[in-house]
Structures are given as C-alpha cells and as structure tokens.
Structure 1
Amino acid sequence: MSSSVLITGASGGIGRALAARLHERGWRIAAVGRDADRLAAVPATLRIVADVTTPDGAALALSATREGLGETPAALAHCVGSTLIAPLARTRAEAWRELMRVNLDSAFFTLQAWVTALGGGPGAAVFASSVVARIGVANHEAIAAAKGGVEALVRAAAATHAAQGMRINAVAPGMTETPMTAGMLKLPAMREAAARQYPLGGVQAASDVADVMAWLLGPEAARLTGQVIAVDGGFTTIRPLVK
C-alpha cells in the first residue's frame, strides 16, 4: 500500500493528531478542511480547502489530492464530525439536519468519492464514530443516530468492497480532549465527573484515538474490516469494581 493518506476533518483535534502521527512515520498527507487558517497548522504535504458534506465538495477533495500528490491515496481517514447534546423533545429539525449533514452525509460522500477514485483497487479507510452509537447515553439521540449511520455505512461498504482488498473500519471514541469538547471540560467539576465514567479513569487525548486509527490504516491490521473499535477506556463494555 502506498504511504499516502487523505485525512478529512484534518484541522480538528483527532484529525490533527492523526496527521502528526502519520507525518512522523513518513506518510504523505493530503489534509482536507473547511478553514484554511486552521489547516495551516496541520503537518501535511498538501492542504485542501473543501466541504465534503456535499458530493461536489468530496469530489473536489479527491481531484485536488490526486493532482497534488500524483495519485489517489490508498488510505483514507474521515475525521469530520460535530456533536449535539439535547433530549429528543428539544432537538430542533434544523439542528438534526445539520448534524446529519456534518456527520453522515460527509462520511457517505467522502467514501463514495474515494472508492470511485481508486477505481477498484485495494485500500484502507477508517471513520470516526462515537461511544454513543454503541451504548445508550441520555440526551444523545441525534448524534447517536448520526454515528450509528456511519457504523452501518462502514459495515455495508466493507462487505461490498472486500473482494478487491479494500478494508473499511471505524473507531468509536469516548470523551476525548479536543477543541470540540473544550466547553464540556472547562470546569474542574465537569472534567472530574466525565473522568469518573470511564473504568480506566481520566479523559483521553486525541493522540490515543489517532494511534488506533493509524494502526487500522497500516499492514498490522491487514485482517480487519467491517469493524468498529471502541477507544473509550472500557466505557461501553465493562464496569469498574465499586469500592
């Protein structure tokens, strides 16, 4: 597999951490985001301003990557995402549609454009889901539905393209220290309450998630496809011993 990768949502916390990790390992990186100023801080070979929540934006990202790198990367990391914490009865239709656009539309159109650009060749892709798609968490109905759709997309696409040697997986992070969660973690009491929910304790760093994503893109994960790996300190599968 070529050591080039397309990272969408590259200026976000996890996307930037993944770019840094792969840059250290010598990968050529095409970093895609909507804000040129934020992209400027991402370690990358190529920086592309595009909105991948639309078919045209996703196609633009792929064509610009192919032109800039001289090839379509055989690795894709889709890190685009947003969140919404609100009970079902208080979730406005506009907020629902925006959440689905950012999380599910972007995943679908990016994967569609990348698969098309590869033209039947092998590759490896990894998507970002969330623990709230794995286990019921109060007041997360909208984001759970959006990320649940991403996980279903991953499994179906993995089945469709397995015969051509294409691997498609996802990670489902728990609470992670990123700009998106800064507001939820700014007060010590909020941080401590969040940390207590996780059997391993604490709030994980973006690099913890990025390490697993990098592994899924590499040859060490050659026999994994259609999987969703929870990077969550045990939140979705175990309960700590109460003392």
Structure 2
Amino acid sequence: MLSFKEQAFMTPIVLITGASGGIGRALARRLHTQGYRVAAVGRDESRLAEVDATARIVADTTTPGGAALAVASCQEVLGAMPTLLAHCVGSTLITPLHRTRLESYHDVMRVNLDSAVFMLQAWITALQGGSGAAVFASSVVARIGVANHEAIAAAKGGVEALVRSAAATYAGQGLRVNAVAPGMTDTPMTAGMLKVASLREGAARQYPLEGVQTAEQVAEVMAWLLSDGAARLTGQIIPVDGGFTAVRPLVK
C-alpha cells in the first residue's frame, strides 16, 4: 500500500497563473476541490491568500525571470514539476486604435501576449521532454471583429497563434496545448461595466444564449481541457461565449 506521502506525490500538480483574478480563482477552487495540488501564482500576496490552493507563489509572469521563478518555486514547494498549466493572466483595453496610447498598447501586449509566451517557454523547458497539458485564456474579440478592441484583439490573436504552433511542435512528446475564448464574463475585470444595469442588459442581449456567463462556467471548460477527458484535443480554441462567434439567433 502506498504511503500518504507517496499518494500525495501521485496527485497531479497544476500551476495556475493569474490565480487571484475571477477565472483563475474559480479554476483554482474547482481543481483544489477535485483533489489536485494547486500552485496559485499572482503578483499580490494579499489577494493570493484568498485563493484555494496548496501553494501560493508571488511572481510577475510578464517577464522571463518571473515566469521561470513561478515554475521553479512550484517545484521547490511541492517537490515535483507541475505537469498541468493554466495561464489566466490577462487584461483588457476598450478604445479605438486612433486613440490608443503607445504605453497602453505596450501594456496590453505585455500582460496578455508576453506573459503567455514567457510562461509557456518556462514550463516547457522545465518539463524536459515530458508530457503534460496547458490551457490559455483568449477572448471572443480575437475570433470575430468587435469595435474598439484592436489592441486586445491583436494580443489575444497572438495567444491563439502561440497555442496552435506550440501544440504542433510538442505533440510528439505528449504535450497538449489548448485555449478557451470567453465572451463577456462576470469577473472583477468587468465589474465596473456590469454594475450599470443598462450596460449589463445590453451586453447580455448580444449573446444567442442570453445572459452574462460566470467565471465558474469558463473555469469548468478549462478544467476539462486539462483533464484526461480531453486527451485527444490539442491546438484547439474553445469559444465559451453563449454562441456569440458561431451562430445568430432567429430574429422574431
């Protein structure tokens, strides 16, 4: 019979970046409840303290050093390499291109695209040819034109291209890389807009399956993509958007 310590080391380790955000926190809670060892990564120690996790790591994954630190700290604290990665770091920028300041553009690319590249690079390097599964967060605005989203659409479009290319490169070692592309989701990032009743109602009406989805609904799909149930999926972008990018409802 395996000892408790041996059983613990057989439990999958998932590294969740952006874990103190709405979707990251929901995913951490779901996987922690399911028995995964969760290493939650974020920049704010006080916010990380509220996340359901086995280990909490303060790191800025928008830099190569911060991404490498996140992976190394997970190995050090939990005693093994995280074979699962959920990259939930992100921001948004809603402004037309001609009004987009250079600093804002660089920031949205740094937070959304640079962090994804650096995190995936650090994780794959540490795997040393081993198998695993990663899931990233894109957005519906990378899949269909939405007004005033040029910079964030470019950043998330880069994330999707990264996912497909990495999936092709590393499929031979049994490494799966996928992403979700959420529509409007009720998280702290969107709270300012959604607290206005008229804006919330307008946003909800855009979706064939009306309403604003929850962070838990997005997290459920991300958790599945990391599981053995999605063992035959790689290089895929799964829209979690109430049909926004795929269908148009019958107008009555």
TM-score, normalization by structure 1: 0.99
1:4 Cα deviation (Å)? Answer: 1.1
Whether contact under 8 Å (1:9, 1:33) holds in the other structure is yes
Matching of residue 176 in structure 1 with residue 185 in structure 2: yes
Deviations 1:135-182 (A, max 9, x none): 000000000000000000000000000000000000000000000000
Cα distance in 1 between the residues matched to 2:11 and 2:245: 34
Contact 2:11/2:37 (8 A) holds in 1: no
Task: Check if 1:207 corresponds to 2:220.
Answer: no
Deviations 1:168-217 (A, max 9, x none): 00000000000000011111100000000000000000000000000000
Q: Which residue of 2 aligns with 1:78?
A: 87
Name the structure 2 match of 1:49. 58
Identity among equivalent pairs (%): 75
Q: Tell me, yes or no, if the aligned pair for 2:11 and 2:35 is still in contact at 8 Å.
A: no
State how many pairs are aligned: 243
Q: Distance in 2 between matches of 1:82 and 1:215?
A: 23
Q: Which residue of 2 aligns with 1:159?
A: 168
Q: Which residue of 1 aligns with 2:129?
A: 120
Of the candidates 32, 55, 60, which is equivalent to residue 41 of structure 2? 32
Displacement of 1:126: 0.0
Q: Answer whether contact 2:182 2:240 (CA < 8 A) is retained.
A: yes
| Equivalent residue letter for 1:77 | A
Which of 192, 195, 207 is 2:204 aligned to?
A: 195
C-alpha RMSD of the superposition: 0.7
Q: How much does 1:81 deviate?
A: 0.0
Q: Compute the displacement of 1:2 (Å).
A: 4.9
Structure 1 unaligned blocks of 5 or more: none
Higher Rg of the two aligned structures: 2
> What is the DSSP-based 3-state SS (H/G/I as helix, E as strand, rest coil) of the residue aligned with 2:225?
helix
Structure 2, unpaired ranges of 5+: 1-9
Q: Is the 8 A contact 1:2 1:73 kept in 2?
A: no
Q: What secondary structure does 1:190 align onto?
A: helix
What letter corresponds to residue 238 of structure 1 in structure 2?
V
Amino acid in the other structure paired with 1:136: G
* SS of residue matched to 1:191: helix
- Choose from 129, 134, 140 the match for 2:149: 140
What's the counterpart of residue 216 of structure 1?
A: 225
Look up the match of 2:243. Answer: 234
Q: Secondary structure at the match of 2:72?
A: helix
Pairing 1:22–2:31 present = yes
Question: Counterparts of 2:138 and 2:239 in 1: how far apart (Å)?
Answer: 9
Structure 1 runs of 4+ off > 2 angstroms? none
Kept after mapping to 2: 8 A contact 1:126/1:171: yes
